[in-house]
Chains A and B, each alone.
Chain A
Amino acid sequence: MTPGHQIDGRAKFDIRQLTVSLADGSHILDDLSHTLTEGRINALIGPSGCGKSTLLRCLNRLIEPTKGSITLDGVDIANTDVLTLRARVGMVMQSATMFAGSIADNLAFGPRSLGLEIDRPRIKELLELVSLDPSLLDNDAQNLSGGQAQRVSIARALANKPEVLLLDEPTSALDPAATRTIESTLKRLRDELRMTIVLVSHSMEQVERIADTSALMLDGKIIESGTPEHLLSGVHHHWTEQFAKGELSSQKENQPN
């Protein structure tokens, strides 16, 4: 990697030579190494099929890699109890799936799975943190708008008091206003709670708006990484421009050697 775009801060996740292969021998992730910085919004971008969601799902072990290792605070996550790891590393999916019951029931799900209880003041505090009206806590979670459901699913992940929040294209199904609310929530989590955030995004504009570090992926590899400004400047501008125009696609022949 070219020098001059070092990110300040300690490594939260250190990903080393990670490979995820399918049964037919093809690779979703191909010998990928990357560092995700503590207390920052770390973006992963790239065209669909590039492996960014797979990489995200390796970080909380929803997928086990075929080869390679990931450390969290220097400890190999393969040697960590998987349920404890998932409580420390929260995840928000692309489209929020609400569990049956009220919003409060949804927020209590994580702590209950770990044998803990969560009280109503704490639930209200979490709803406020994601810019939702705390008086909604007894409402049925099935009748929420897409943006509200996504905010509940962020609050639900936060109920476990995670150190890291993984988000898989959390705004791809939302309108611009709902998108901005989620983005400001993520900045708040970084600034007020010093959380490490890993954001898979489809939008270079979003990455510019909120991310501190970014990595552009193609065909299971990281082809460029650094600050969003770095990605948009200098010799590497070509890749990013292609991606922003939607011309970067997952075909081997598009890659120069």
Chain B
Amino acid sequence: MLDTLSELLPRLPGILGALTLVGLAIGISYWQKVGLEKSMAVAVVRAFVQLIAIGYALQLIFDSDNPLWIAVIVGVMLTVAGLTSGKRAKSIPRARTIALLSISTSLVLTLGTLLMFKVFEPSPQSIIPIAGMIIGNAMTATSLSMARLRDDLKSSRSAIESALALGAPSRVAAQGQLRTALATGMTPLVDSTKTVGLIALPGAMTGMILAGSPPMEAVQLQIVVMFMLVGAAAFASMIATFLTYRQFFTKTHQLNL
């Protein structure tokens, strides 16, 4: 801990300098009576503590070289992501289980593919941050797909029941809603992949350039990251949509809202 903190100490003036911007934001919130001062202060403290903690944990894991630690930290990431996504999807039965299953299956498939093609070395230094990116994006895709399907099934109840009443199986009756839910989960990443480099330099690339890597190296990494995240979002959306659909239809083709 001391090592990490002593490493941090020379950077403290920079952190404090950046903090003045938060102070400014809090000032604006107070001045305009937005009422976000307390949340902002809490967010700043949380970000500081959480990032210091993860930095410390990562240092420990990289030093110890025990693969069990990777499993522990990825497990924690998955649990937090599953709970967060599940909490968003209110009124879907077994929402947390669905979210956890979607995100972890997406992680296994995406990470598995990358390791199979030897895109990354199976070291803690690559697996942990990559797993984090995959889980984060899979979580967003899962939340979006689950919420969209739930909302669309509710608002299209009469169309779906009209189709069921005509003898259509539930998969056919809800086809449009299933497609929309799938697209909703995948769209943000498809859009950001389309505009990558034009609007903003994405995180992984920015980080590498700031750390002094040649731009072309950073670009190569970013391409892999974008493709990987498109895959992760697609897997997560697909599984989340399918499992959510199964919660709302019975085996005998009844809509159960």
Chain A residues in contact with chain B, CB under 8 A?
60-64, 82-84, 86-87, 90-91, 93, 95-97, 99-100, 109-110, 113-114, 153, 156-157, 160
For the complex, what is the distance from the CA of A90 to the CA of B163, rounded to whole Å?
11
A114 to B254 Cα, complex, angstroms = 17
Once bound together, how far apart are the Cα atoms of A156 and B162, in whole Å? 10
**Which residues of B, 146-185, contact A by the 8 Å Cβ criterion?**
158-159, 161-169, 172, 176
Question: Nearest Cβ distance between residue A53 and chain B, in whole angstroms?
Answer: 11
A62 to B166, CA, bound (A): 11
Interface contact B169-A113, CB-CB below 8 Å: yes
Q: Do residues A160 and B166 form an inter-chain contact, with CB atoms below 8 A?
A: yes
**Number of residue pairs across A and B with beta carbons under 8 Å?**
61
Q: Distance in Å from the Cβ of A161 to the closest Cβ of chain B? A: 11
Check: B39 CB closer than 8 A to any chain A CB: no
Known: A61-B252, A62-B254. A93 touches B158 (CB 8 A): yes
In the assembled complex, the Cα of A64 lies from the Cα of B176 at a distance in Å of: 25
Chain B interface residue number, banded: 10 to 19
Q: Are A113 and B166 in contact (CB under 8 A)?
A: yes
* Contact between chains at A63 and B166 (CB < 8 Å): no
Residues of chain B touching chain A, judged by Cβ–Cβ distance below 8 Å, are 158-159, 161-169, 172, 176, 250, 252-255
Distance in Å: Cβ of A144 to nearest Cβ of chain B: 14
Which of the residues A96, A100, A109 comes within 8 Å of B166, measured between beta carbons? A109
| Residues on B with beta carbons closer than 8 Å to the beta carbon of A62 | 161, 164-165, 254-255
B158 touches A99 (CB 8 A): no
* B153 CB → nearest A CB, Å: 14
Cβ contact within 8 Å between A93 and B161: yes
Residues of chain B within 8 A of A84, CB atoms compared:
167
Cβ–Cβ contact B162 & A97, under 8 A: yes
A157:B254 contact, CB within 8 angstroms: no
Evaluate whether A114 and B167 lie within 8 angstroms (CB atoms) in the complex, with A93-B161, A95-B158, A97-B158 already known: yes
CB distance from B253 to the nearest CB of A (A): 6
Task: For the complex, give the distance between the alpha carbons of A160 and B176 in Å.
Answer: 22
Residues of B near A83 (CB, < 8 A) are 167-169, 253
Taking CB atoms, residues of chain A closer than 8 Å to B250 are 64
Task: Give chain A residues whose Cβ lies under 8 Å from the Cβ of B158.
Answer: 93, 95, 97
Cβ of A93 and Cβ of B162 under 8 Å apart?
yes
Show 18 A/B contacts (Cβ-Cβ < 8 Å), sorted by A: A61-B252, A61-B254, A62-B161, A62-B255, A64-B250, A82-B252, A83-B167, A86-B166, A90-B165, A91-B165, A93-B161, A93-B162, A95-B158, A97-B158, A109-B166, A113-B168, A157-B166, A160-B166
Give Cα A93 to B252, complex, Å. Answer: 20
Which of chain B's residues has its CB closest to A156's CB? B166
- Whether B159 pairs with A97 at a CB distance below 8 angstroms is yes
Q: Which of B161, B162, B167, B255 contacts A87 (CB 8 A)?
A: B167
Q: When the two chains form their complex, are residues A113 and B162 in contact, meaning their CB atoms are under 8 A apart?
A: no
A153 lies within 8 A of B161 (CB): no
- Residues of A close to B167: CB separation below 8 A: 83-84, 86-87, 110, 113-114, 160
Query: What B residues does A64 contact at CB under 8 A?
Result: 250, 252, 254
Most B-side CB within 10 Å, residue of A83, A87, A153: A83
